Structure 1
Amino acid sequence: MPQEDTNLISKAIQWALTQDVDIISLSLGLDLRDPELDAAINKAIAAGKIVLAAAGNDGNNKPRAHPGRNRNVLCIHASNGKGKDGGISPRALDNDDNFMTLGTAIPLSWKGKEVVKSGTSFATAVAAAIAADALAIISRDGLLNEDQLKRLYSCDGMRLIFALLSSQSDNGYKYVAPWNLWVRDRSSELIQHQILEVLRR
């Protein structure tokens, strides 16, 4: 990616902070760390924003891409439609959550044509939508106190919620899907209890 592009991304993050957004979704991956972009991301995280980034599409041929390699960012890998490894993500790391969600064989309309695309960038957008839904659903009932709400609206808090929404998949990944928590035979009281428990950690 050209340097001018990373400069624009850094400026976009700074602008997002002035708009007081809750979630910043970065459907991109760089081979090399960009200090200016890292600084912008770290500023967003320090401000309590939820930042997600794509893991990269080169499988085991390359490590995680930047800025998904930033330990404070929610790095998103790609699964197929059944929650299995989509075959394009870098290997799962032993010391991280390795979240993944739908990112392969996605039907799209592109330049007036129907196409099918795959990529961890698509998975990142899906994960950002899951995070937005989780924020809206969890915060609407008035169950959380001020500290718990602040925790929820942060990378650390959303990491806990994603873990709650995850099932262990193959190759060390965790498949993030809302129906792993919100299932028909589970009472709303039990779901609320589980959410409160994780936000106390």
Structure 2
Amino acid sequence: MHLEIVVQGPKSVDHVLERIEVFLETVRTEIEEMPLEEFVKQVSGVISELEMKPKTLTDRFDLFWDEIESRQYDFADQENEVKVLISIKKKDVLAFYDRYVNFVRLQIERKIRKDAPERRKLAILVHPKNEDQEKIEEIIKKNAEMGRKEKEIKDVDELRQFLPFYGFPIPAIDLKPIGIDPLEHKEPSIPEPE
């Protein structure tokens, strides 16, 4: 389970990351204080979006291909999400938030707080063309002086060396990987010349 926040805009990287932190600290109160009618309206909007059928064959293909490419093979994914959303209550959303986003409320602060020792955050930043390398290095140096433990990764293999990853979710259909199964593969027999 993860939380993904995608932001695009002209603001600096530090500003965007700080605004994300503020958002995470305040969003629970907004959900809690949201009137029931507004909550139902939001859920209905998500359900309507999920129930929309693909308009073109390409859109339909993309839905299926995403499942194949991710190796999940859950072709009824959207229908299953709608079934869950129909019965969801505001208290369910708050419980999810408390468990997976706002660990402070459960006294499990070690994962999400800014200074939490077990917290892991991956921020993928694309710098604008007019921002030169010296300015980027200056920002990284300033952040290091402030005690922030950030590391710029220029190579994906470098990322894999120091960041633990967890496996993919269990697919809806268990299919063997594409290719030859080494346990079942037998070399073709060549008839002996007589």
TM over 0.5: no
**More helix by proportion, 1 or 2?**
2
**More strand by proportion, 1 or 2?**
1
- TMscore range, shorter length: under 0.3
- TM-score, length basis structure 1: 0.26
* The structure with more radius of gyration: 2
